[in-house]
Amino acid sequence: MVDTWCLEKKLVPLFQEEDHQQRLLIGLTVDKLREHINRHLPRLGKKKIDSLVVNYVAKLLELIRQMLESAWAKYRLGSRVLCLMQRGSPAEWSVFHFMCRILQSTRGLCLPLPPGYHTLFAVFAIRCLPHNTFLQYIDHGFLQLTETFVSRLMTDLDNSKANERLKFSVLKRLPELVEQRIYHMWDHPISSASISRDYVRTLLEKQNKYKGIALTGREKPGFRPEFLPLTYLANTLSDIEAQAAPNPFEEQENVDARFVEETALMQTLILLGLEKK
């Protein structure tokens, strides 16, 4: 249904993304409406009822998009509103409140929203609201974090103290699997540490799974032997890397024993106050 929109005529930059929650709600709306019509108007026939239900839900989604486009055109908003580094203008405040009312109405009626609506709403929220209020909107379930939005948040905002606090607060509110994916997009020592821990855990689990992997214990030329525990860990990981056959069906990440070692050393320097984040 969403794919039937005339994308070339769209004014509002609704992000084309997989919004599983909204797709489930769209499917549920279609099923319940079909069930209702079948119960009260069975004489219409299955084919006509299916067509009627699908067209009705598609028109609902199209109506929401047209409402957004009317507001977008009225306030003459452009692509600049997608920049997370700037504060919102009075016009954006008006559109943000308008989107709030749409969200309240659809939730009250259990109606679906177009995919991408929550991402655009979150963009307006981060531009218009103070950070504490933004987080309260999330905690009260009024603002739904999408992976598309959080990815932009991590890459677009710099690592100032205020933005760091915001990013950490947002990451804590994500499901674990999404949080791990987002960490890979953030250029920050904490994210490197998280990636390294996950990588070490994965390799050691592989070692436990394949007991036949022999650890040579030889020093690798690239590893510095000054700190023996770290050197031993790096050598162990390198042995597992060399002997464990990669799974062709798993996504290969640009992480290895050298990355783990460098991240560990960087974290040590930061903790000792010898290096800035």
Number of domains in the chain: 2
**Same domain, residue pair 110 and 140:** yes
Q: Which of 165, 183, 201 finishes a domain? A: 183
SS3 56: helix
pTM: 0.69
Q: Both 132 and 90 in a single domain?
A: yes
Provide the residue range defining the domain that includes 64.
Answer: 2-183
Shared-domain flag, residues 60 and 129: yes
Cβ distance 275 to 266 under 8 Å?
yes
CA distance 177 to 175: 6
Q: How far apart are CA 138 and CA 173, in angstroms?
A: 8
Summarize pLDDT for 53-100 with one digit per residue, the tens.
999 999 999 999 999 999 999 999 987 888 898 899 999 999 999 999
Q: What is the pLDDT of residues 111-145, one digit of tens each?
A: 899 888 999 999 999 999 999 999 999 999 999 99
| Secondary structure letter of residue 129 according to DSSP | S
Q: Does residue 149 carry a pLDDT above 90?
A: yes
Nearby residues of 102 by Cβ (< 8 Å), 6 or more positions away? 64, 67, 68, 113
Tens of pLDDT, residues 81-92: 888 988 999 999
Q: Which of 158, 183, 208 marks a domain boundary?
A: 183
Residue with tokens 């040579």: 216
| Domain final residue pick, 127, 151, 183 | 183
> What contacts 174, CB < 8 A, 6 or more positions away?
145, 150, 182
Do 50 and 92 belong together in one domain? yes
Residues 263, 193 share a domain: yes
The pair of three-digit structure tokens given for residue 191, joined into one six-digit string: 């994210």
